[in-house]
Structure 1
Amino acid sequence: MLAIRLPAEIETRLDALAAATGRTKTFYAREAILEHLDDLEDLYLAEQRLIEVRTGRSPTHTLAAVEQSLGLAN
């Protein structure tokens, strides 16, 4: 169970959308969360990887080195 407080303007918009479509406010709240959850998880992971690269805990490779190792170098 999750309870959230929304600003009145958003609550009003959500009420109007639910009434106009016959869906519940919970449906739209769930859809919004699911829509953005993957993006938020990806952002967190990217930030962690960036920290690892910047602190030298994760190696980096040049494009030329990757191409060479895959046999794609010209």
Structure 2
Amino acid sequence: MLAIRLPAEVEIRLEALAKATGRTKTFYAREAILEHLDDLEDLYLAEQRLMDIRAGKTQTVSLEEVMKRYGLED
């Protein structure tokens, strides 16, 4: 179960979309979350990795080295 507060403008738009399509506001809220959750997780992971690199906790590997490791050289 999830309860969220939306800005009035978004609530109005969501209500209009639901009414125009015969779907529920919950349907569209769920669709929006599912559509963007992967991107949000990827962004969070990338930000964490960048912070780790800047803090010296993680080493980077060049594309050339990755290609060598996995036998993908030309």
**TM-score, normalised with respect to structure 1:** 0.80
Query: Which residue pairs with 1:28 in the alignment?
Result: 28
Q: Which residue of 2 aligns with 1:12?
A: 12
Larger Rg: 1
Deviations 1:23-53 (A, max 9, x none): 1000000011111111111011001111111
Assess, with a 3 A threshold, how the Cα gap between structure 1 residues 30 and 67 changes in structure 2: closer, same or farther.
closer
CA gap 1:59/1:9 in 2 versus in 1, 3 angstroms? same
Distance 1:69 1:11, change over 3 A: closer
- CA deviation after TM superposition for structure 1 residue 66, in Å: 3.9
The TM-score with structure 2 as length reference comes to 0.80
Q: Which runs of 5+ in 1 are unaligned?
A: none
C-alpha distance 32-73 of structure 1, shift in aligned 2 (>3 A): closer
Aligned-partner residue type, residue 9 of structure 2: E
Check if 1:48 corresponds to 2:48. yes
| Runs ≥4 residues deviating over 2 A | 61-74
Q: Deviations over 1:43-71 (max 9, x none)?
A: 11001111111122111233444445455
For the structure 1 residues 14 and 64, does the alpha-carbon distance in structure 2 shift closer, same or farther, using more than 3 Å as the test?
A: closer
Q: Judging changes above 3 Å, is the alpha-carbon distance between structure 1 residues 18 and 56 closer, same or farther for their aligned structure 2 residues?
A: same
